Homo-oligomer: A and B are copies of this chain.
Amino acid sequence: MIKIATAECFTHGKIGRELHAIAQGYTGNFGRDYVENPESYGNFNYNELSVICSLFIPTIEAVKSVLQIENPPEPTTLIKGIKCYNEAEDKKVSKIMAEAVKKITDCDIAIGTTAGIGRGGISIVTNDYTIITTSDIASDLRENNSEELFQRQENGIEKCVKILLFLLNDDFDSIESMNNIKIIEK
């Protein structure tokens, strides 16, 4: 069983939910919102996938209390307690969030996401690799433009779920062909 856990901000826990629907073989209304045919990504048996938890962590308080990160980087600003970083910081913080949920749950693959000003940060952490990327759409949480935030979110979810499915199918070429990907081998 491959165990996955997520700690998500701008993607609102939807990456974990999508992977959970794939893992449980849900269909129809209860099925996938982002990936119609996960089998097209390779031969991985998705029945061997388990989503341990999917945590939506928008506030700096929950970063500390739920993810047990004692000293997270100082946000550029707080919006009703919601952490707002710039893109360079978002990439760092998404990695810190992924590492934290991996430590707490002892999962095989952990995902962290956060997006304030810019395209946001997405990190995928396994025992062997850390993959860091951004979404492909910039927005600014301070401007509270619902449609733009929605577009950034949708793009980030789709991109992260795709990376995950390529990863489960050992298809690093496809991951590397995507925009703005950094792969760190441990």
Interface residues of A (CB under 8 A from B): 1, 5, 12-13, 16-17, 20, 23-31, 47, 50-59, 61-62, 65-66, 80-82, 104-106, 144, 146-147, 149-150, 153
Contact for A80 among B12, B23, B56, B81, CB less than 8 A: B23
This chain: copies in complex: 2
Alpha-carbon distance between A57 and B105 when the two chains are bound, in angstroms:
11
Q: How far is the CB of A91 from chain B (nearest CB, A)?
A: 21
Q: Which 5 residue pairs of A and B lie closest in terms of their CB atoms, listed nearest first?
A: A53-B62, A30-B150, A30-B146, A54-B56, A13-B13
Q: Is the CB of A146 within 8 A of B55?
A: no
Task: List the B residue with the shortest CB-CB distance to A152.
Answer: B30
Q: Is the CB of B13 within 8 A of A106?
A: no
Alpha-carbon distance between A53 and B59 when the two chains are bound, in angstroms:
7
Contact for A56 among B1, B17, B65, B149, CB less than 8 A: B17
Q: Which residues of B contact A31 (CB under 8 A)?
A: 146
Contact for A13 among B24, B56, B61, B81, CB less than 8 A: B56
11 further A-B pairs in the complex, CB-CB below 8 A; given A12-B13, A47-B80: A1-B80, A12-B17, A13-B13, A26-B146, A26-B149, A29-B147, A53-B66, A54-B56, A55-B55, A55-B66, A65-B104
Q: How far is the CB of A44 from chain B (nearest CB, A)?
A: 15
Q: Which residues of B contact A50 (CB under 8 A)?
A: 59, 80-81
Q: How far is the CB of A67 from chain B (nearest CB, A)?
A: 9
